[in-house]
Structure 1
């Protein structure tokens, strides 16, 4: 079973990322999110979410 990762930031939206996966012949099996922080003074402030889908080939 072949796996591939798709990062949402490479596309304009989550839906576009999922559409590209389907066109490539993959289906999502896992969604991973982690916050991206920016330092402002002495504080670390979350500025966005980094979303990555793990996908496998459709059978």
Structure 2
């Protein structure tokens, strides 16, 4: 059984649209986007390196089941 929610990190050479397409192909729907700064040591100092982007995704089948159950009432 697949996890209900997962975090998917956007790859370095990937656009947000490409990442969302990849998530949907996995059978999930993105629900939250989170960005985190990534730092590195450069010449003995901590410097900003890049931004890490992650999407929280929810399983599509589970959402469909929940919507069907609420529509029955």
Richer in helix (by share): 2
| Coarse TM-score class (shorter-chain normalised) | 0.7 to 0.9
User: Which has the larger share of strand?
Assistant: 1
The unaligned stretches of length 5 or more in structure 2 are 65-73
| Residues matched between the structures, number | 59
Going from structure 1 to structure 2, the CA distance change for 1:4 and 1:44 (only over 3 Å counts) comes to same
TM-score (norm 2): 0.67
**How far off its partner does 1:10 sit?**
6.6
Please list every run of 5 or more consecutive structure 1 residues that lacks an aligned counterpart in the other structure.
Answer: none
Cα distance in structure 1, aligned partners of 2:12 and 2:48: 20
Q: Show structure 1 runs of 4+ deviating over 6 A.
A: none
**Structure (1 or 2) with the larger CA radius of gyration:** 2
* Number of the residue aligned with 1:16: 18
| CA shift in 2, pair 1:25/1:10, >3 Å | farther
RMSD (Å) for aligned C-alpha atoms:
1.9
